[in-house]
Amino acid sequence: MASLFNNALQQLDKAYEHLKVSKDVKEILGSPKEAIHFWIPVRMDNGELQTFEAFRIHYNDHLGPTKGGIRFSPAVCLDEVEALSFWMMIKCALVDIPFGGAKGGVVVDTKQLSQAEIERVSRGFVRGAAGFMGPDRDIPAPDMYTNAKIMLWMSDEYNTIRGKYKPAFITGKPVALGGSLGRDSATARGGFFCIRELMKLKNKTPEKTKVAVQGFGNAGSHLAIMLHEAGYTVTAISDSSGGVHCEEGLDPKHLLSIKKKEKKPLKSLASHAPNARAITNEQLLELKVDILCPAAMENQITKENAGKIKAQIIVELANGPTTPNADEILEKKGVLIVPDVLANAGGVTVSYFEWVQNREGYYWDEDMIDRRLDKIITKAFHRTNDVMKEKGVTMRTAAFLTSVKRVASAIDAKGLI
Ligand code: NAD
């Protein structure tokens, strides 16, 4: 598998073709600022001790404390976390929130662990990295296979270590315990706002628009439900097992409730939707739809399948779903890609709101959160669209141009001896 961090650096190089930055900036942005790599010893339910490899990377903190999720996955590695921390830096700068980029990961398959074991891994991560994180230094959040409950365990562990109540240490907590309203659906809502603005620009209505969503976790399931409720025809959804497809449209909320109740993979639920059939994730990506939303994981659209993609618009809810080779093929085909750093920035934006609310001790209602999120994402979307048009570049490069310019001006202003 090609290096994900290399993919990220290739995207950066594309931006440099259109942007003059100093040698210092290139040197600083070419690698992360700092990283820790550690192992978490965990007493398993059967009494045996098992160690789990873990990482936390701060890519850049010129615009503020670093911010980024923690991924629990058997496949996570230093290269992946490096790329994800880099994209966090680009994303925060793009939507203009005062954070740098970070990311963390634990090599663990949560599907094989009990809840008590996942709690011990989560608390162990904080014990291992507490000195490297904090509300004024580096603020974690959820990512793949981590959720509000895990954020709560991590928050509780941090408070215990510090001997203080420090809710701003981590975002994505349950609302009852310092979380923000709207955080669980924020990533999808940001993507939804991008799609809404795009439809306006293209003079298209939801009713005539078919969408396929790959990934049915936090980002994908919320997006599929929002689109369905807004009148789009969601013809396909999938999880890691495969998916369900129906040309006339699916009801994602109904399928989510059955999936949760029956604890079954999506591909086995086709019989619960009229005229639906089971499909593979590869088939989903190649369906004839207007909008394709990869919302699962990286490297899904590659040079192998890019030529077979029929959607004219791709909205990247997942981080890094399209490789640079695939980007080139899709650009030649005239496919518009709303890049991950813009399409999924709703999550970190509401995480920022959560951090602000935790520090103020004053909590906002959902309406205020949605309005503020809408304003930030809509502004970032149109700014990126304008740069794309003005410079004649892809939307991804346009997003990078805006972000890199911001980070570069902070690096140059600070200077280094
Ligand atoms: P999640 O763990 O809630 O869900 C992941 C989903 O992807 C699950 O449905 C899983 O079954 C599915 N999946 C896993 N492997 C797959 C595969 N090979 N093919 C198809 N589906 C597969 O994770 P999430 O939080 O929804 O994150 C999904 C993506 O969105 C990730 O790339 C993540 O980095 C990105 N993202 C998430 C947030 C957030 O706030 N949760 C914010 C920004 C970006």
Tens-digit pLDDT profile for residues 190-245:
999 999 999 999 999 999 899 999 999 999 999 999 999 999 999 999 999 999 99
Verify whether ligand 1 is closer than 6 Å to residue 144 (CB atom).
yes
Residue 303 Cα to ligand 1 midpoint, Å, equals: 22
Q: 226 with 374: CB under 8 angstroms? A: no
Residue ranges in the chain whose pLDDT is less than 50: none
Its domain, for residue 304, covers 186-343
Residue spans of beta strands (DSSP E) within 184-281 = 210-214, 233-239, 242-245, 277-279
The count of structural domains within the chain is 2
- Token readout for 380 is 């970032």
Same domain (yes/no): 215, 263: yes
Same domain (yes/no): 61, 148: yes
Q: Is residue 33 annotated as a catalytic residue, yes or no?
A: no
Same domain (yes/no): 157, 197: no
Q: 346 with 372: CB under 8 angstroms? A: no
Q: Tell me the CATH number at 166.
A: 3.40.50.10860
Residue 181 Cα to ligand 1 midpoint, Å, equals: 21
Same domain (yes/no): 166, 55: yes
Same domain (yes/no): 73, 161: yes
- pTM to 2 decimal places: 0.96
Residue spans of beta strands (DSSP E) within 122-164 = 138-142
Q: 223 with 296: CB under 8 angstroms? A: no
Verify whether ligand 1 is closer than 6 Å to residue 293 (CB atom).
no
Nearest-CA residue for ligand 1 atom 8 is 217
* Strand ranges of the sheet holding 138-142, from the earlier edge strand across to the other edge: 34-43, 49-60, 100-107, 66-73, 138-142
Q: Is residue 223 part of a domain?
A: yes
Q: Is residue 330 part of a domain?
A: yes
Of the candidates 206, 393, 143, 198, the one whose C-alpha atom is nearest the C-alpha of residue 315 is 198
Last residue of a domain, one of 121, 154, 177: 177
Catalytic residue selected from 14, 91, 103, 259: 103
pLDDT digits (tens, 9 = 90+) for 338-395: 999 999 999 999 999 999 999 999 999 999 999 999 999 999 999 999 999 999 999 9
Strand 233-239 to 242-245 pairing: antiparallel
Q: Is residue 134 part of a domain?
A: yes
56 by DSSP, 3-state: which? strand
Same domain (yes/no): 171, 288: no
- Token readout for 256 is 């989510």
Last residue of a domain, one of 343, 359, 379: 343
Nearest-CA residue for ligand 1 atom 16 is 240
Which ligand 1 atom sits nearest the alpha carbon of residue 340? 44
Same domain (yes/no): 53, 103: yes
Q: Is residue 193 part of a domain?
A: yes
Q: Is residue 92 part of a domain?
A: yes
Question: Euclidean distance between the first and final Cα of the chain, in Å?
Answer: 39
Same domain (yes/no): 45, 162: yes
Residue 146 Cα to ligand 1 midpoint, Å, equals: 10
Of the candidates 90, 28, 86, the one whose C-alpha atom is nearest the C-alpha of residue 57 is 86
Q: Is residue 77 part of a domain?
A: yes
Same domain (yes/no): 163, 205: no
Q: Tell me the CATH number at 295.
A: 3.40.50.720
Verify whether ligand 1 is closer than 6 Å to residue 294 (CB atom).
no
Same domain (yes/no): 201, 338: yes
The whole-number pLDDT of residue 327 equals: 97
The whole-number pLDDT of residue 417 equals: 61
394 by DSSP, 3-state: which? coil
225 to 16, 107, 190: CA distances (angstroms):
38, 30, 14
Q: Is residue 42 part of a domain?
A: yes
Which ligand 1 atom sits nearest the alpha carbon of residue 146? 2
Last residue of a domain, one of 292, 311, 343: 343
Of the candidates 357, 395, 355, 409, the one whose C-alpha atom is nearest the C-alpha of residue 168 is 355
Q: Is residue 398 part of a domain?
A: no
Which ligand 1 atom sits nearest the alpha carbon of residue 345? 43
The whole-number pLDDT of residue 2 equals: 77
Same domain (yes/no): 317, 196: yes
Same domain (yes/no): 162, 278: no
Q: 95 with 380: CB under 8 angstroms? A: yes
| CA 339, chain centre distance (Å) | 11
- Token readout for 356 is 């602000």
What is the percent of the chain with per-residue pLDDT over 90, rounded to a whole number?
Answer: 96
The whole-number pLDDT of residue 1 equals: 62
Nearest-CA residue for ligand 1 atom 43 is 344
Which residue from 7, 239, 354 has its CB within 8 A of the most atoms of ligand 1, so it is best to mutate? Answer: 239
Residue 20 Cα to ligand 1 midpoint, Å, equals: 35
